[in-house]
């Protein structure tokens, strides 16, 4: 059967067209939860959560099948979530597929496999019976529509300039965008006008935005700003949380050098926000190919040091920045 986008399914839900069973594939936990809540609201309205998470790690396969299949005396609505259905074995797996063909009345089920490309038998069978809904991390071009959607959920129609400001600030994932939109909407008073300048008020205490400021400072070889923003960031977090984005910055600059100075369309999820991605070509011009390769090797050494030595994060970062930016 078909693979669907969340947008496809939300259009159906808004028309009152809802299935009893859905199959999600992909590892974006925010989108998984966003979908689960959307279905939950369609079933129960604004009542408190009614979902029941069924984990094959904690229950026997037969217990799970009994929970989703057995109706109670009052035929009340029930909502179940099953993660890792591949751990349901033997006869119970066949019964799960039978439930998908013919679900118990008033019972609703969402099945989740994190690996979008799973070749497991159960994934293939569920795909045949139900089709699947894509909940992978969105590509860059999809984040703009998600930003608009998240504002719409709050009853706000943002101007394009505000959407761009949010993407520049937190646009590396829907999760970070959603957090930023929540903060903006929470701080928006009746007399306030939603503008990029208003949005920027929230950047000072946004640790993710601070990380993007740091990465751009590194890209620009601005040592003083990189030291200030980088050490301030790791004072609230840690070096290990900075490494993936810092490594991605130099990897993307290396790709640009290998492509004769031309940036390429992004191949999938990269832990960098638009505000960094859009400056990569300019950043790459500040470094030679050899410097980038040296810096990637240094980052590999830092990763090992974090795991094997007692050197503190501030010392590791400061030493790296002086080696890289001077």
Q: What is the pLDDT of residues 313-325, one digit of tens each?
A: 888 898 899 889 8
Listed residues 157, 187, 217: the one ending a domain = 187
Whether the pLDDT of residue 169 is over 70: the answer is yes
Distance CA(213)–CA(115), nearest Å, equals: 32
Whether 318 maps to a domain, the answer reads yes
Per-residue pLDDT at 203: 64
Distance CA(234)–CA(241), nearest Å, equals: 8
- The predicted-structure confidence for 78-92, as pLDDT tens digits, reads as follows 999 998 899 998 899
Q: Are residues 252 and 278 in the same domain?
A: yes
Whether 172 maps to a domain, the answer reads yes
Q: Are residues 126 and 17 in the same domain?
A: yes
Listed residues 134, 156, 173: the one ending a domain = 134
Nearest by Cα to 25 from 142, 127, 141, 172: 127
As a whole number, mean pLDDT of residues 131-153 equals: 92
CATH code, domain carrying 293: 1.20.272.10
More confident residue, 203 or 166: 166
Q: How many domains does the chain have?
A: 3
Whether the pLDDT of residue 277 is over 90: the answer is no
Residue 249 neighbours by CB distance under 10 Å: 27
Average pLDDT score over the chain:
87
Please identify which residue in the block is written with the tokens 């500040």: 286
Per-residue pLDDT at 98: 95
Whether 104 maps to a domain, the answer reads yes
Tokens for 262, please give them. 């031309």
CATH code, domain carrying 9: 3.40.50.300
Q: Are residues 101 and 148 in the same domain?
A: no
Q: Are residues 174 and 288 in the same domain?
A: no
Q: Are residues 251 and 179 in the same domain?
A: no
Whether 182 maps to a domain, the answer reads yes
Q: Are residues 164 and 270 in the same domain?
A: no
Give 107's pLDDT tier (boundaries 50, 70, 90). Answer: very high
Considering the entire predicted model, what is its pTM? Answer: 0.66
Domain encompassing residue 101: 3-134
For residue 291, the SS3 value is: helix
Whether 237 maps to a domain, the answer reads yes
In terms of DSSP H, where are the helices of the chain? 6-14, 29-44, 61-69, 91-101, 121-130, 140-153, 160-170, 174-187, 196-200, 207-219, 223-236, 239-258, 274-277, 280-284, 289-308, 313-325
Q: Are residues 175 and 106 in the same domain?
A: no
Whether the pLDDT of residue 148 is over 60: the answer is yes
- The predicted-structure confidence for 27-45, as pLDDT tens digits, reads as follows 888 899 899 989 998 988 8
Q: Are residues 101 and 145 in the same domain?
A: no
Whether the pLDDT of residue 58 is over 90: the answer is no
- The predicted-structure confidence for 205-249, as pLDDT tens digits, reads as follows 456 667 888 999 999 998 888 888 888 888 878 888 899 999 999
Q: Are residues 171 and 101 in the same domain?
A: no
Per-residue pLDDT at 48: 59
What percentage of the chain exceeds 90 in pLDDT?
Answer: 48
Per-residue pLDDT at 35: 94
Whether 197 maps to a domain, the answer reads no
Q: Are residues 149 and 130 in the same domain?
A: no
Give 76's pLDDT tier (boundaries 50, 70, 90). Answer: confident
Q: Are residues 221 and 245 in the same domain?
A: yes
Whether 159 maps to a domain, the answer reads yes
Say which residues have a Cβ less than 8 Å from residue 208's Cβ, sequence separation at least 6: 169, 170, 172, 176, 179, 180, 273
Q: Are residues 243 and 258 in the same domain?
A: yes
Whether 199 maps to a domain, the answer reads no
């Amino acid at each position: 059967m078909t693979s669907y986008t969340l947008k496809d399914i939300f259009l159906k839900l808004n028309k009152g067209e809802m299935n009893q069973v859905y199959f999600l594939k992909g590892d974006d936990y925010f989108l998984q939860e966003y979908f689960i809540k959307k279905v939950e609201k369609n079933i129960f309205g604004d009542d408190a959560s009614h979902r029941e998470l069924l984990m094959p790690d904690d229950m026997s396969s037969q217990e799970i099948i009994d929970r989703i299949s057995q109706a109670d005396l009052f035929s009340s609505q029930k909502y179940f979530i099953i993660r890792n259905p591949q751990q349901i074995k033997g006869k119970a797996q066949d019964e799960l597929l039978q439930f998908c063909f013919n679900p118990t009345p008033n019972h609703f089920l969402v099945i989740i496999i994190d690996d979008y490309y799973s070749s497991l038998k159960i994934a293939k069978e569920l795909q045949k019976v139900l089709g699947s809904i894509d909940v992978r991390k969105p590509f860059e071009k999809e984040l703009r529509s998600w930003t608009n959607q998240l504002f719409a959920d709050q009853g706000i129609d943002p101007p394009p300039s505000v959407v761009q400001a949010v993407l520049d600030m937190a646009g590396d994932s829907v999760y970070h965008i959603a957090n930023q939109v929540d903060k903006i909407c929470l701080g928006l008073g009746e007399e306030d006008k939603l503008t990029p300048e208003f949005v920027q008020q929230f950047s000072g205490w946004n640790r993710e935005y601070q990380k993007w400021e740091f990465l751009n400072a590194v890209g620009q070889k601005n040592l003083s700003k990189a030291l200030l923003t980088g050490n301030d960031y790791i004072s609230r977090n840690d070096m290990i949380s900075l490494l993936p984005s810092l490594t991605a910055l130099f990897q993307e600059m290396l790709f640009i050098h290998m492509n004769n100075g031309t940036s390429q369309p992004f191949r999938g999820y990269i832990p960098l926000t638009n505000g960094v991605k859009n400056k990569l070509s300019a950043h790459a011009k500040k470094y030679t190919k050899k410097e980038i390769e040296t810096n990637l090797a240094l980052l590999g050494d830092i990763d090992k040091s974090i795991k094997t030595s007692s050197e503190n994060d501030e010392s590791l970062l400061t030493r790296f920045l002086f080696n890289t930016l001077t």
